[in-house]
Amino acid sequence: MSFFARRVATLTGLSEDRLEHLAGGDLSEVLLVRRLDGRISVAKGSPAVGTEATMLRAIAGAGVPAPHVEGELAGVLMIEHVDNDRVFSPSAWRSLGAALRQLHDHLGEAYGWPVDYALGTVSLDNRQGQDWPAFWLDQRLKATAAVLDRPWRERIAAVGPRLAGILPAAPPPSLLHGDLWTGNILVSGGRLAALIDPACYHGHAEVDLAMLTLFDTPDAAFWQAYGSPPEGWPERQAAYQLFPALVHLRLFGGSYGNLVERLLGRIEA
């Protein structure tokens, strides 16, 4: 039993045979917890459980499905278990599109989030402000590239003027999931069941769309429910996909260098 599993067992008063490791926890340990009364919960390890709990509550507060937060203590986040059949049918994509539109219609007063956060070892500078292109360049792209080799840093810094012409100066500050890919989207019975593992902040809604289309291909039903991005989307898509590509380069190594190169090429063209 791992240290985290021992902590969960102590906090819940359950024996080891009631805990089961869940696949997919790339950035934190995740356990399935079978309670004595028949309920099933999920325990997730995180150094910022309170922040993640707040983000899940923010998503639910916008009327979008998210797991109910059962407790947060000593680096352990306890949430309800949500069934997931992993079948992304057209109806499931349509349900996601409608829910994401609802999430993005929930607006903040500034870009960013009240507290900083992290994706694994990649810190997220969430200082709030009113200049969206500056937020994206300084607090997402340059901040993430800061520990990379000098050629990467210089190229990221050099796209600043280009971003100013690509990105809108003051898009509505939508509530973003912040790490939206199908691994963080639970579906069941042809509908969205829950959004999990958020990295929320307020920003341009197309950030979530760009992340979703980086590794996945939403069905046409998704776009019918959400709405098509306005003119200039391909250029903005590359600018927004560059951030998760840099995060993957930081977290998972040089195999993502080609992806970063391709995206930079699209922005620099």
149 is catalytic: no
Whole-angstrom distance, CA of residue 257 vs CA of residue 246 = 8
Structure tokens at 37: 């009364």
H-helix segments, the chain:
3-12, 49-61, 90-104, 132-134, 143-145, 150-158, 160-166, 206-215, 220-226, 233-252, 257-268
Tokens, residue 185? 């989207």
Q: What residues does 112 pair with on adjacent strands?
A: 202
**Residue carrying structure tokens 């063209």:** 269
SS3 of residue 4 by DSSP: helix
Largest CA distance in the chain: 60
Catalytic residue among 116, 131, 179, 197: 179
For residue 116, how many C-alpha atoms fall within 13 Å in the half-sphere facing its CB?
Answer: 12
Q: Point out the residues that are catalytic.
A: 179
